[in-house]
Structure 1
């Protein structure tokens, strides 16, 4: 068994697509209109057949309080692996990304946490 699809709730799919592709570097995989929303997924540019991330609309009434609580408590909605957290931090901060946690070594991992501009905190992590 393996993870095929996971999701992150976003407040604006178009903004999310721009951020996750143009800023973070993911590639668009599926973009299927579904009424007012879309089935919109991105994948790692390095693994186009890998795990898909659904940029899921946050319209359900339970989602916004959930997202707000996570952000207020500093809890990331997702975690993405990178080869070098410091290099990604420098690149993304140079692109105007706001971080809520600068790179922090914690035993065998180094993490940083960013604001995805869509209502979520996202962790980037490097395993050593």
Structure 2
């Protein structure tokens, strides 16, 4: 089989703040920005990788989600336990400096993990955990 990752989804509750983080701090390209019913879905991705994207979605936009579930989602986002993604870079220390200088919420400075990777971590404006590791 020939299967690749095309898109991953992360919640965002402030589209402009999400753009500020993913486009202006991480340097991702904006691939799509769609509004519907007062909500926005923003697709971003790394330059030079047109087939890999992150879709920044309104939390609980699914009409099947109950009000109680929306409350739980909002609480988990506030704690940073609802969504996350792992990114990779050739120089995690330089990337950390750039992201930190952009004002991102630092969770962990670059360290060598006991499981063999060097990484750091931030929260995006919606509270999602963004781990960035040194590309091997």
TM-score band, normalised by shorter chain: 0.7 to 0.9
Check conservation: 1:44, 1:50, Cα contact below 8 A: no
Is 1:124 paired with 2:132? Answer: yes
Write the deviation string for residues 79-120 of structure 1: whole angstroms up to 9, x where unpaired.
111111111111222222231101111243111001212222
**Which residue in the other structure is 2:119 paired with?**
111
TM-score by length of 2: 0.80
* 1:15 to 1:8, Cα distance in 2 relative to 1, 3 A: same
Q: Is the 8 A contact 1:76 1:123 kept in 2?
A: no
Q: In the alignment, which residue of structure 2 is the partner of 1:21?
A: 23
Conserved? CA contact 1:28–1:43, under 8 Å: yes
Number of residue-to-residue matches in the alignment: 124
**Equivalence for 1:66:** 76
Flag as ranges the 4+ runs of structure 1 deviating above 4 A: none
Distance 1:39 1:76 in 2: 16
Q: TM-score, normalised by structure 1?
A: 0.84
Task: Measure, in 1, the Cα distance between the counterparts of 2:38 and 2:83.
Answer: 27
Question: Which residue of structure 1 lines up, in the alignment, with residue 95 of structure 2?
Answer: 88
The structure number with the bigger radius of gyration is 2
Instruction: Note if contact 2:111-2:119 (Cα within 8 Å) is conserved in structure 1.
Output: yes
Give ranges in structure 2 of 5+ residues lacking alignment: 62-69
Secondary structure class of the residue paired with 1:2: coil
| Structure 1 counterpart of 2:54 | 53
Deviation per residue, 1:28-80 (Å, 9 max, x gap): 00112212112310010121x221101111245142233245x26xx971111
CA RMSD in angstroms, aligned pairs only: 2.0
